[in-house]
Chain A
C-alpha cells in the first residue's frame, strides 16, 4: 500500500508532559484518515509536528516515501501539506481573495494581480463544490464559509494532504453535512485528508480509517467501516462509555427563573430576543434548542447581566434582577458557563488557580482586607481541578493558555459548579469535547439538577439537548416557538420547530 505521509514513532515532550510518545500514523493516498483522541491526548501536537510548527524529539516523518525534515510551515507547504486550523487565521476586513493571496501574492511591479487570483479561486471553488465568493469580505460571511476559505487557501497552494483540526467544532448541523460532501469531493479528486476529531458520528460518516491515540500513545489504527462507534470510543477513552446518560425523571420544585416578555437588543441594535417568556424551576434542566444566532446569546446575556434589557422582566427566586450588576447576580446564585471559553471564560494569561477565583476573589476566605489568601486559593483550585479531572502540565500554577481546549472547558465548568449556583446557565458546555468528557459533564449537570438547582442548557447539538434536558424550549428568530417535554419529542419535531414551525403544526 502506498503511503503519502508517514509519521513513525514520533515523540515530543514539553516541560512536565509527554505530549506524544511513540506515535505512528500512516496516511494512504486518497483516503480520509481520522485522528481520534480525547482532549489533550496529543492530536494537535502531532499535527503541529507534521505541519512544522514543532520539531519532534524523536521519530521519522516520510512524505511520498522519502524521509524529510519539516522545519517550519513553509516547508510543509512546499511538500504539499496544508492545514485548516480550528481557529481560523483570516484577516477580518480583507476579502476572500486577499486572504488567500496573503503570503503568496502574485502580481507585477508591486501591484497585486487580484483578478488572476480570484479566477483561480473561482475555479477551485467550482471544482470542489466549495461555493465561495472571492470578493466577499471575511467579516460578512458565515463561519462555515470562512472554513471553506481556509480549505481553498491550502488548495491554492497546491496542497495534496489536508489536515483539518476539529473542523466541525464551529459549524451548525447543516454546515457539517456540507463539509462532509466537500471532503468526499476532495478525496475523489485525489487529495488525502487527515481529520482531527473526537466526534465518532463524523468519523463513521466520512473516514476510511481511523488512528486512535490516548495519553500520547497510539492505541491502534482501524478500518472505520468494520468498527463500531462503541469500539472506537472505548479505544479512545480506555473504558466503556455510555452515550446516553442515565437520569431519573425530574422533580421540579419552586420557580427559580421567570422571564416575562423579555426583549433584548443585540450589538447591532436589532431586537435579537422578542417578548420571550420562560420559567425554569428548581430540579429541572431546560434546554434551549435553536440554530445559532436565533436569540440564544441575547437571552443568556440578559439573564447574566452582560446585556441590557429593553423591556420585560427577569425574576430570580421572585426578585427582579434586571437592574442588578453582573457581580450581584453571581452573588445571588447565577452561574454561567459561557459560550466562548477563551473570550469570556478564562483569562488565558492567568494561572489556573487565578482563573478559579475570578468571580469570588474579593470574598473571604479567598481574600481578607484586600489581600489574596494564596494558600487557600491553591487548595481550593487544586480540589476543583482534581474533581473535574483537568489535566495540565503544572497543576494549579499552569498558565490557562497552555491547556488543551477541553481541559480549559472542564476548568470553567468546575469553577461554576463548585459555587453551587441555584441557576446554572450552561452554553455549549461540551463544545469541542470528547465523548468521555461529554458523558462526565452531562452527569455533573444532572447531578447539579438533582441537588435541587435549576439548569438552563443552551446548545446547538440536538443530541445534547434531547439527552440532558427535561423540557426543551425552541427558539427561532428571537421568538419562543414552543416548549416540549424531552421525553415526548424527537429530533424531527425539534428540527422543524427550529426552522420556525410552531409546535401545534408539527406532526409527531
Chain B
C-alpha cells in the first residue's frame, strides 16, 4: 500500500517537473500533456500500441525485479534480450514446424538464450565473487557484437545488410484477434506471455521453496549458507531465471513488436527495465503497471511532438525524473510519513504515530542506480 503511494508520488512529481520543464522552454504544459496522453490513449489502436510498447518492458522489468529480490543487480538485460532474440530469430528462420510448436520452440530458445547470457555473470559471481554489474555489462557488449557479426553472416536481410531477414508471419507473435480488438494495433501475443510471466514470477517468489531459497540468499547469504542452502547454486539459478525473462523480452521485441533484428543497437528496453522494476517496487504486478505506464509515455511522446512544439526529449526527461523519484524512495517514504503525521496531528492528539522507518528497512539494493546510462 505504502509502496504504491511512493510510486504514485514519484510519477506525480515526475509529471510536475516535466510540466515545469515545458513551461520553462516556453510551451504550454497542459497542452503538452493533453497530447502526450491522447497519443497513448486516444483510441483503441493507440491503447493497443501503448500496451505493445510496454510488453517488452514487462519482461525486462520482471528480469531486473527478480534479480533485485534475490539480491542481484542484473544490468545486462539488454544483452540477454539481444541474445534471446537472436536465438528465437534463428529458430524462426530455420525451423519448419506447425505454428504452435514453432512458437513454443522459439519461446524456449529465447528463454534459454537469455538465461545462458546471464548464467555467465552468475557463475563468475558465485565462483570468483566477480560483481555481476561489471560482468553483465560486459556481456551486453558481447551480445551486441555477436549480433553485429551473426546477423549479416547468417541471417542477412533481403535488402539491408544491417537487418536480419524478415520472419515469416507464422514465426512471429502476431495475433489478428487481439490486434483487431484494438483497432489494428500491433499489439500481439507477447502480452499473453507477459501476463503469464507476471503470474509465474509472483508464484515462484511467494509460494515456492525455490523462491524462498533465492530470496533468503539475496537478503543474507551468510544465514542461507548456515542453514544449508546451496548459495552458489542459488545465485546462478537466480541469474538464469532473470536472464531468461530478459530473453523473453527479446522475443517480444524482435518477433512480436518487430519482425526482424537490427545490428548496432543495444535495446534501450533492457535498461528501462531497471526503471520499471524500481517504479514497480520489484513486485510483479507493480512491474506490469509500471511497464504499461512507461509504454504510455513512449508511445505518446511522438504524438505530442507532432501536435505541439514540445520536443520529444521532454518525455524522456520526464521518465528520467520519475526514475529519480522512484530510486530515492527513502525520501518519498519520509515525505509520506511526514504527511500522515501532520494529518493525524491536525485531527487529534498524536495518539498513534507512525514510527520513522527503522534504519536499514529500505534495503541497499536501490543504491547506486542513478548513473545508469539510458540509450
Point out residues on A near B: beta carbons under 8 Å: 13-15, 53-55, 57, 304-306, 325-330, 336, 338, 343-350, 354, 358-359, 361-362, 367, 370-372, 401-402
B1 contacts chain A at the CB level, 8 A cutoff:
no
Residue from B226, B353, B358 within 8 A of A13 (CB atoms): B353
How far apart are B367's CB and chain A's nearest CB, in angstroms? Answer: 16
Q: How far is the CA of A349 from the CA of B210 in the complex (A)?
A: 17
Residue from A53, A344, A371, A401 within 8 A of B209 (CB atoms): A371
The 4 closest A-B pairs by CB, nearest first: A327-B228, A326-B228, A358-B227, A344-B226
Cβ–Cβ < 8 Å partners of A343 in chain B: 220, 222-223
**What does the 1/0 interface line of B334-367 toward A look like (CB < 8 Å)?**
0000000000000000111111101011010000
Q: How far is the CA of A306 from the CA of B219 in the complex (A)?
A: 19
Apart from A344-B222, A345-B226, A372-B208, what are 14 other A-B pairs with CB-CB below 8 Å? A13-B352, A305-B228, A326-B226, A327-B229, A328-B228, A338-B226, A346-B223, A347-B220, A349-B219, A354-B216, A370-B208, A370-B209, A372-B209, A372-B212
How far apart are B42's CB and chain A's nearest CB, in angstroms? Answer: 44
How far apart are A148's CB and chain B's nearest CB, in angstroms? Answer: 24
CB contact under 8 A between A54 and B355, given known A359-B228, A361-B212: yes
User: Which residues B194-248 have CB closer than 8 A to chain A?
Assistant: 207-210, 212-213, 215-216, 219-220, 222-230
User: Which residues B64-83 have CB closer than 8 A to chain A?
Assistant: none
Cβ–Cβ < 8 Å partners of A14 in chain B: 355
Cβ–Cβ < 8 Å partners of A330 in chain B: 227-228
B209 touches A347 (CB 8 A): no
Most B C-beta atoms less than 10 A away, residue of A306, A326, A345, A347: A347
Q: How far is the CA of A402 from the CA of B355 in the complex (A)?
A: 12
Q: How far is the CA of A304 from the CA of B223 in the complex (A)?
A: 13
Q: How far is the CA of A325 from the CA of B225 in the complex (A)?
A: 10
Size category of the binding interface on chain B: 20 to 34
How far apart are B375's CB and chain A's nearest CB, in angstroms? Answer: 33
Q: How far is the CA of A402 from the CA of B360 in the complex (A)?
A: 11
How far apart are A82's CB and chain B's nearest CB, in angstroms? Answer: 18
Between-chain CB contacts (< 8 Å), 26 pairs: A57-B351, A305-B228, A325-B230, A326-B225, A326-B226, A330-B227, A338-B226, A343-B220, A344-B223, A346-B220, A347-B223, A348-B219, A348-B220, A348-B360, A350-B215, A350-B219, A354-B212, A358-B224, A358-B227, A359-B228, A361-B209, A367-B209, A371-B208, A372-B212, A401-B360, A401-B361
Q: How far is the CA of A433 from the CA of B226 in the complex (A)?
A: 22
B220 touches A54 (CB 8 A): no
Point out residues on B near A: beta carbons under 8 Å: 207-210, 212-213, 215-216, 219-220, 222-230, 350-356, 358, 360-361, 363
CB contact under 8 A between A370 and B210, given known A347-B220, A347-B223, A349-B363: yes
B216 touches A54 (CB 8 A): no
How far apart are A303's CB and chain B's nearest CB, in angstroms? Answer: 13
A401 touches B358 (CB 8 A): yes
Cβ–Cβ < 8 Å partners of A55 in chain B: 353
Residue from A57, A347, A402 within 8 A of B358 (CB atoms): A402
How far apart are A6's CB and chain B's nearest CB, in angstroms? Answer: 22
How far apart are A326's CB and chain B's nearest CB, in angstroms? Answer: 4
Cβ–Cβ < 8 Å partners of A54 in chain B: 355-356
Cβ–Cβ < 8 Å partners of B225 in chain A: 306, 326, 344
Cβ–Cβ < 8 Å partners of B223 in chain A: 343-347, 358
Q: How far is the CA of A119 from the CA of B275 in the complex (A)?
A: 49
Q: How far is the CA of A370 from the CA of B203 in the complex (A)?
A: 11
Cβ–Cβ < 8 Å partners of A347 in chain B: 216, 219-220, 223-224
Q: How far is the CA of A367 from the CA of B207 in the complex (A)?
A: 10
CB contact under 8 A between A57 and B228, given known A350-B216, A372-B208, A401-B358: no
Q: How far is the CA of A325 from the CA of B363 in the complex (A)?
A: 30
How far apart are A15's CB and chain B's nearest CB, in angstroms? Answer: 7
How far apart are B321's CB and chain A's nearest CB, in angstroms? Answer: 28
Cβ–Cβ < 8 Å partners of B228 in chain A: 305, 325-330, 359
How far apart are B264's CB and chain A's nearest CB, in angstroms? Answer: 42
A358 touches B207 (CB 8 A): no
B356 touches A372 (CB 8 A): no
How far apart are B353's CB and chain A's nearest CB, in angstroms? Answer: 6
How far apart are A13's CB and chain B's nearest CB, in angstroms? Answer: 7
Cβ–Cβ < 8 Å partners of A328 in chain B: 228
Q: How far is the CA of A304 from the CA of B360 in the complex (A)?
A: 30
Cβ–Cβ < 8 Å partners of B358 in chain A: 401-402
How far apart are A374's CB and chain B's nearest CB, in angstroms? Answer: 8
Q: How far is the CA of A230 from the CA of B220 in the complex (A)?
A: 40
Q: How far is the CA of A336 from the CA of B223 in the complex (A)?
A: 12
The residue on A at minimum CB distance from B226 is A344
The residue on A at minimum CB distance from B217 is A347
B209 touches A306 (CB 8 A): no
How far apart are A263's CB and chain B's nearest CB, in angstroms? Answer: 22
Cβ–Cβ < 8 Å partners of B215 in chain A: 350
Cβ–Cβ < 8 Å partners of B207 in chain A: 371-372
Cβ–Cβ < 8 Å partners of A359 in chain B: 227-228
